[in-house]
Amino acid sequence: KHLSIALIPGDGIGPEVVAEGVKILRTIEELDPELSFSFTEFPWGCEYYLKQGKMMDADGIDQLQNFDAIYLGAVGYPGVPDHISLRDLLIKIRRSFDQYVNLRPVSLLDPSFTPLKDKSDKDIDMLVIRENSEGEYAGAGEWLYKGRPEEVVLQTGIFSRKGTERIIRYAYEEAHRSNRTLTSISKGNALNYSMVFWDEVFEEVGKEYPDVETYSYLVDAASLYFVSDPERFEVVVTSNLFGDIVTDIGAGITGGLGLAAGANINPEMKYPSMFEPVHGSAPDIAGKGLANPIAAIWSVSQMMDFFGEEKWGKAVLDTIKGLTVEKENLTPDLGGKATTNEIGDRISEKLQKL
Ligand code: NAI
Ligand code: MG
């Protein structure tokens, strides 16, 4: 099998962590005669913007269209407003390629990484499935009477039946396939249109999956449970905004942004899917070899899973887990002294010894 991969290293620590992810992909390619990858790098990002006046080429989406996958580091840097860097590249790609599923594992690699007392990797092991194409982030709204006393601002959430059903069905499928419980996070008591609709769809679609055990929590209560008893959650499905927020709580209870991975999926494979760490460009540590590449490498594991190479997805994740038991194998964000490059090398070496 061959996969063509578009690389968008981006800004700050983006290129540093992407280099380590590519190292792991090359290792897999070497070890598996059935698999090969080709890489095409795109120089898009904030530096590009400062020189060219745009985050990506005007026909950038066309250029990416025929790749199997996109592997992205991070975009955003001081000097370029964040709404430009995010909207004109990242969000544009997610939207154009209908990557409506955002998969974010919230899974504890090592008990020492969580600030929660008495929680082990058995307690914190969930997959958050976030709606990634509409909802609260649809971008709809209006700014009326700007600057006047009667000024009113509307930010409209858009929840289509198609959009809501497909994400909820994806989550049921995942829970069914993996024999796990499914929890919906919403807010029907206060958001009297959108979230009442969400809850109804969750129940309706559930009728097709009588074997899946379901729970439904309000987002405020769920946020508390994430830190008080995370063992309640296995597969979680939620809206764009709530998913954004609860997965940062998820990062907080599992060791921080250096470990949080994400995949933006178009399940039908009509368009390329995009794999990226959740973190940003971290200008405060960029260029010093301090960045933790594990989030980016975990995204490589997600990429392997998505393309049906679960054997490699699991091998990469197991290797990461095996590595982090020793402090000398940690970057400074986790209290160690290892560099970005060293972590990549060690994971690559361990994979070769499997
Ligand atoms: P950030 O995620 O870049 O950094 C937050 C904190 O976490 C910093 O202290 C940073 O040093 C640390 N951190 C992040 N990743 C790390 C890693 N791999 N290893 C060790 N420490 C790590 O978020 P921030 O500072 O809010 O944003 C910086 C820029 O990144 C902004 O321009 C923002 O718009 C952009 N951004 C881009 C994202 C993307 O491309 N997906 C996501 C989030 C932010
Ligand atoms: Mg976020």
189 pLDDT above the threshold of 90: yes
pLDDT at 324: 82
- Alpha-carbon distance of 121 to 109, in angstroms, equals 6
The token duo for 306 is 């998505």
**CA 246 to ligand 2 centroid distance, Å:** 9
Give the pLDDT confidence of 90-136 residue by residue, as tens digits.
Answer: 989 999 999 999 999 999 999 999 999 999 999 999 999 999 999 99
Tokens of 1: 């099998």
Question: Which of 281, 284, 343 has most ligand 1 atoms within 8 Å of its beta carbon, as the pocket-test mutant?
Answer: 281
What residues are paired with 144 via a beta bridge?
152
How far apart (Å, rounded) are the C-alpha atoms in residues 318 and 332? 21
Give the pLDDT of residue 340: 97
Encode pLDDT of 62-76 as tens digits.
999 999 999 999 999
pTM as predicted: 0.95
Is the beta carbon of 295 within 6 A of some atom in ligand 1? yes
Q: Give the number of whichever ligand sits closest to the CA of residue 258.
A: 1
The reported pLDDT for the residue numbered 328 is 86
pLDDT digits (tens, 9 = 90+) for 269-288: 999 999 999 999 999 999 99
CB of 251 within 6 A of ligand 1: the answer is: no
Residue 184: CB partners within 8 Å, gap ≥ 6?
A: 168, 171, 198, 199, 202, 214, 215, 216, 217, 236, 237, 238
- pLDDT band at residue 327 using 50, 70 and 90 as cut-offs: confident
In this structure, which residue's CA is closest to atom 30 in ligand 1?
Answer: 280
CB atoms within 10 A of CB 346: 18
Residues 349 and 332: beta-carbon distance below 8 Å: no
Residue 174 has a pLDDT of 97
* Predicted confidence band of residue 86 (pLDDT cuts 50, 70, 90): confident
Asked whether the predicted pLDDT for residue 325 surpasses 90, the reply is no
Structure confidence at residue 59 as a pLDDT band (50, 70, 90): very high
Which domains, and CATH codes, for the chain?
A: 1-104+259-354 (3.40.718.10), 115-254 (3.40.718.10)
- For the four alpha carbons of 232, 236, 242 and 248, in that order, the dihedral sign comes to positive
- φ/ψ of 74, rounded to 5, equals -165, 150
ipTM of the complex as predicted: 0.97
Structure token digits, residue 309: 């190479």
| Residues 6 or more apart whose Cβ sits within 8 Å of residue 192 | none
Q: What is the pLDDT of residue 253?
A: 97
- The per-residue pLDDT for range 16-41, each reduced to its tens digit, is 999 999 999 999 999 999 999 999 99
Nearest to 160 by CA among 123, 201, 191, 129: 201
pLDDT at residue number 87? 85
260, 113 Cβ separation under 8 angstroms? no
227, 211, 212, 233: which is closest to 128 by C-alpha?
Answer: 233
How far away, in angstroms, is 204 Cα from ligand 1 center? 38
Are 293 and 334 contacting, i.e. CB atoms less than 8 angstroms apart? no
Residue with tokens 């002294």: 337
Per-residue confidence at 84, pLDDT binned at 50, 70, 90? confident
pLDDT band at 173 (very low <50, low <70, confident <90, very high): very high
Of 91, 104, 247, 257, which is best to mutate to test ligand 1, by the most ligand atoms within 8 angstroms of its C-beta? 257
The mean pLDDT of the chain is: 96
Report how far ligand 2's centroid is from the alpha carbon of 340 (Å): 23
Residue percentage of the chain with pLDDT more than 90 = 93
pLDDT digits over 207-259, tens only? 999 999 999 999 999 999 999 999 999 999 999 999 999 999 999 999 999 99
Euclidean distance between CA atoms 232 and 226, whole angstroms: 8
- pLDDT one-digit tens code per residue, 131-163: 999 999 998 999 999 999 999 999 999 999 999
Cross-sheet strand order for the sheet of 214-218: 36-41, 2-10, 69-74, 273-277, 261-265, 101-107, 125-131, 235-238, 182-186, 214-218
